[in-house]
Amino acid sequence: MNTKLLLAACAVGALALSGCMAAGMETVATADEAATAQPTDPNAAAIADPLRPESEVARDPLRHPAEMLAFAQINEGDRIADIRPEEGYFTRLFARAVGGAGRVYAFVPNQTAARENAFGDTLAAAYPNVNRITGDLNVMTFPEPLDVVFMGQEYHDFVIPRFNVDVAKMNAQVFAALKPGGLYVILDHQAAPGAGTSVVGTLHRIEGSALRAQVEAAGFIFDGETTAVANPYDDHSLSVFDEAIRGKSDQFVYRFRKPG
C-alpha cells in the first residue's frame, strides 16, 4: 500500500477509536452522575425531600418555598420554632434545611392542641430533629436559644379575641426566645389599607402595617420584606377561605431582627 495512504488510514482509524472511547467515557460519566445526583444546596434538598406529601408539593407554585427559605435565612445547624405548624408544610422544609445538626420546634398552642398535637407528633416521628411542644403562647419558652421563629398565616388568628392571646406578651416571649440577632419571620394574609386588625375574625386578614407596629413594639427591628407570595389582583374584600381566592390571597412576609 502507498505509504501516504497507509498513514492516512491509520490516522482515520485512530480518530475513530478516540471518538468511540470518548463517547463511551461520556456515557459512563453521565450514568454515574445520574445515579448519584443529589441537590447540594440545603434549600433545594429540602424542597426535593421525598417525605413531603404530594398534597403539599402541589402547593409549591403558590407558596414559593425556595424564596421563602432564602428570605428566612435558614442555615444548616439553626434552631427554629415553627409556631402553630398545623400539618407541617414549613416544618418539613425547615427540618431538611437545618440538617441533622439543627433543631425544629413545632409549637402547638393549647387552644388547638386537641386537633393539632397529632400533626406535631407525626412530624416528630418522620424527622429526628423535630420536637413537638405544646403550650401557652403568652408564656412560651424553648429548651435553647433560637435562631429563627417562624409564624405562617397564623398571627392574625392570635389577634382574634376568642383565642385569648395577649399578642404583646406573645411577641415579648418570641423576643426572649431568640438569640441576639435572631429573626422573627411572619407570613400572613394582607387586609385592605386602613383595616388594621378589624377583619381578623371575619376575613382572616390583618393589615401589614398594624402587625408591624405590634412586633416593633416588642423591641424588634424591621429587617425586610418579600413579595414572593403577593397577589396584586386580590382586592382584600373576601375571606381567605372563599373559594374565589383561597390559596391565592395577597400575602406579605416580614422579617424582624432582635438587636444584638
CATH fit for domain 42-257, picks 3.40.50.800, 3.40.50.150, 3.30.2350.10, 3.40.109.10: 3.40.50.150
Grid cell in block for residue 239: 375571606
Question: In the prediction, which pLDDT does 23 show?
Answer: 38
Question: In the prediction, which pLDDT does 21 show?
Answer: 35
What is the C-alpha to C-alpha distance for residues 172 and 185, in angstroms, rounded to an integer?
A: 14
Sign of the torsion angle spanned by Cα atoms 72, 154, 245, 255: negative
Q: Domain residues of the chain, as ranges? A: 1-37, 42-257
By C-alpha distance, which of 184, 255, 259, 253 is closest to 219?
Answer: 259
pLDDT tens string 8-61: 443 434 434 344 333 333 333 333 343 344 456 889 999 999 999 999 999 999
**Res. 5: pLDDT tops 90:** no
pLDDT tens string 189-211: 999 999 999 999 999 999 999 99
Grid cell in block for residue 253: 412576609
Question: In the prediction, which pLDDT does 39 show?
Answer: 53
Question: In the prediction, which pLDDT does 42 show?
Answer: 85
Question: In the prediction, which pLDDT does 1 show?
Answer: 46
Please compute, for residue 225, the number of CA atoms within 13 A of its CA located in the half-sphere on the CB side: 14
Percent of the chain with pLDDT over 90: 84
What is the C-alpha to C-alpha distance for residues 209 and 229, in angstroms, rounded to an integer?
A: 17
Question: In the prediction, which pLDDT does 40 show?
Answer: 66
**Res. 215: pLDDT tops 50:** yes
pLDDT tens string 56-78: 999 999 999 999 999 999 999 99
**Res. 227: pLDDT tops 60:** yes
pLDDT tens string 109-155: 999 999 999 999 999 999 999 999 999 999 999 999 999 999 999 99
Question: In the prediction, which pLDDT does 27 show?
Answer: 33
Over residues 205-224, mean pLDDT: 98
Question: In the prediction, which pLDDT does 163 show?
Answer: 95
